[in-house]
Structure 1
């Protein structure tokens, strides 16, 4: 089992730097930040941009993987985003993980005056976005004419990327997917799969959903003949009214249940002072101590 932490992009530097450094020193395998322009009930609070945050995090860490949880096509074009994120990967020394999802239907979906999309359109845009990133983040040979494609949602004409990637064949791509078409896409092009297992007031129902989704992933692997164990499986443990770092016991129970279901990675949120994911950093310290003993 690998352990990750989400650091919401709310704290100013140097407090944010302290958290990213601590995540590195604690022994977490990966650290993520949300890729939103604003997020739900925190829309009125301080909220920094994703790429500069990860760039700064790359300069104050040395070991931990860094990632987007998750980037979406709601307000991004794959060409400039691929160049941005490939540059962060180079700065980090090849430690980036790229989480990508279809994009929610909240603030980010309308802030630029976008039309409302039906679910089919959201998936088609997501697939085109992810497939473009899969190509753009690979090596562009010197002397080539660049990378070109023309789709329903995105077009590129001789796009130039950074150059030879810091990771080969490209940085790991992790797709957030729950539906059958999205799961099939993840199995076809991604290195890993990410899920929140949806929203459920009843914890038992949420865990049943988490188990059902991992079985669906295994079934999706059968069609293209992909070995299921070649796809990492990441579960976000937290949700509305459910916080894995509320106590050490809560964390241990959540990790144990995720492991039993077959998840390879779990992710929790850095404790906030109030509201959603409110908690005490002393719990994080104790959990981190266990990680240190595991890694030591």
Structure 2
């Protein structure tokens, strides 16, 4: 089991910098940040775009994976994102992780675009991800899709070491993620109680198992397909939210359940003194010292 940590971009760099360094020093496998113009969980907070932050973190660290969770077509063009990914792959020496999803609609509506109906929202995401695959595999790419266009777009240097991690919660998006991406990431359904959440994850994990068996029958592709689960959710109108690091025991129990469902990676959040993700940094430190080594090397247990 690999374990990651999300660090939000609501703090100035002088305060965030020690956290990114600590994530690596504590032994986490990967560290993430959100890709938003404004995030609904902290709508009044200062917020900075993540790509230059990850560039600075790449220079600050040596081992830990660094990722976006997740880039969306709400305010990005796939060609521009491809170019950002090339830069981050180089800066991080192959440690960059590119999460891509449909996203909510807030970032798009800030820029004056209307909120899309759910089906169109998903179809735009599919076109966005398929474009990223073409940019990775081809040069001189011309797109003439419904949502995105390019004219003879150059794509060099080749993007070779950055996995495309596709976010999906529902069956249709999960099928697309397994067919198109290098890995799958999910939050599970939002605004549900814990039992419903785990029940939905069980169904989604079973669907992925079946799809991967089909891929394995067709050839070796998919053998290294990783499955990421975000264990935390911010509070919403109908949900109190969930923070795995509320206690070491809670985190350990949730990770064990995720592993039993076949997830290869889980992602936590750096504790905050207030919601969202309210928890104690002492719990984080204890988790990193006592639990993280055992998760990464079960023989120690």
TM-score by length of 1: 0.91
Corresponding residue number in structure 2 for 1:72:
72
- Deviation string 1:205-248 (CA, Å, 9 cap, x unpaired) is 21111111111222334555567654211111112331101111
2:132 counterpart of 1:133? yes
Corresponding residue number in structure 1 for 2:141:
147
Q: Structure 1: give runs of 5+ residues left out of the alignment.
A: 141-145
Q: Structure 2: give runs of 5+ residues left out of the alignment.
A: 236-240
CA distance in 2, matches of 1:166, 1:124: 26
Asked if the contact 1:71/1:99 (under 8 Å) is kept, the reply is yes
Corresponding residue number in structure 1 for 2:120:
121
CA distance in 2, matches of 1:11, 1:63: 23
CA distance in 1, matches of 2:198, 2:223: 21
CA RMSD in angstroms comes to 1.9
Asked if the contact 1:87/1:162 (under 8 Å) is kept, the reply is no
Deviation, 1:267, is 0.5
- After TM superposition, the structure 1 = structure 2 runs for residues 146-295 of structure 1, keeping only pairs within 5 Å, are 146-165=140-159, 167=161, 171-221=162-212, 225=217, 230-239=224-233, 240=235, 241-290=241-290, 291-292=292-293, 294=296
TM-score by length of 2: 0.90
Asked if the contact 2:9/2:33 (under 8 Å) is kept, the reply is yes
- Structure-2 change in CA distance of 1:48 and 1:193 (3 Å): same
Q: How many residues align?
A: 287
Corresponding residue number in structure 1 for 2:58:
58
SS at match of 1:233: strand
Corresponding residue number in structure 1 for 2:238:
none
2:103 counterpart of 1:112? no
CA distance in 2, matches of 1:200, 1:208: 14
- Deviation string 1:37-76 (CA, Å, 9 cap, x unpaired) is 1111411101111111111111111101111111100011
CA distance in 1, matches of 2:146, 2:62: 40
Deviation, 1:181, is 2.4
